[in-house]
């Protein structure tokens, strides 16, 4: 599909095939877990993955953004975060590399693409941040996951 699109609209989108084949269970990770490098901590994700109520979601990203060091495009280095937003909030995330973006789209592949070579629903508001340490992300995800599980438990109790 991406190749067919190229015939109509020239673009520089390329699959990151090597990554897609190297990361076991890639389809289980969303773009936020990929961009914030939680795929490097599969044991942590595995602890909570069995619970469908646990998701690294846009709300968590918005909370994290308040504590991350924002950068201008001219300041970014490989490995920094790219956060995409619409007027209503966070929609997508990726990682910078050679002034391009590496990001996971949906449940499928990881792509190298230009900043604005993305599905339209990801929005046109782009912010760059220094990538936080993995240890911090693991801890923040654990806290977020436990909160989501508690909220889910309370919702189940309220229904019964």
φ/ψ of 82, rounded to 5, equals -120, 120
pTM of the model: 0.87
Contact status, residue 104 vs residue 26, Cβ threshold 8 Å: yes
CA 70 to chain centre: 17
State the angle between helix axes of 134-159 and 42-49 in degrees (0 to 180), rounded to the nearest 10: 0
Question: Over the Cα atoms of the chain, what is R_g?
Answer: 17
Could you tell me which residues are beta bridge partners of residue 110?
104
Quote the pLDDT of residue 22.
Answer: 56
Residue 119 to residue 110: CA distance in whole angstroms: 13
- What pLDDT shows up at residue 86? 97
Inter-residue contact 138 to 44 (CB < 8 Å): yes
Which pLDDT belongs to residue 29?
82
pLDDT of residue 109: 82
pLDDT in tens, the chain (160 residues): 777 877 888 888 888 865 555 556 667 788 999 999 988 887 777 777 777 778 889 999 998 888 899 999 999 999 999 999 999 999 999 999 988 999 998 877 889 999 999 999 999 999 999 999 999 999 998 899 899 999 999 998 998 7
Per domain, the residue ranges of the chain are 14-159
Q: Alpha carbon of 79 to those of 48, 56, 92, 95, 97: distances in Å?
A: 26, 19, 16, 6, 6
């Amino acid at each position: 599909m991406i190749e067919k699109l190229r015939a109509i609209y020239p673009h520089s989108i390329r699959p990151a095939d090597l990554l897609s084949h190297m990361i076991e269970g890639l389809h289980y990770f969303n773009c936020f877990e990929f961009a914030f490098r939680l795929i490097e901590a599969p044991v942590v994700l595995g602890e909570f993955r069995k619970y469908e109520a646990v998701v690294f979601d846009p709300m968590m990203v918005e909370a994290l953004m308040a504590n991350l060091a924002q950068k201008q495009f001219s300041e970014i280095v490989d490995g920094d975060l790219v956060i995409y937003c619409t007027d209503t909030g966070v929609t997508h995330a990726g990682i910078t590399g050679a002034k391009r973006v590496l990001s996971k789209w949906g449940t499928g592949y990881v792509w190298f693409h230009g900043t604005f070579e993305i599905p339209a629903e990801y929005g046109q508001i782009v912010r760059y941040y220094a990538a936080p340490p993995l240890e911090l992300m693991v801890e923040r995800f654990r806290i977020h996951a436990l909160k989501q599980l508690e909220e889910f438990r309370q919702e189940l109790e309220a229904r019964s």
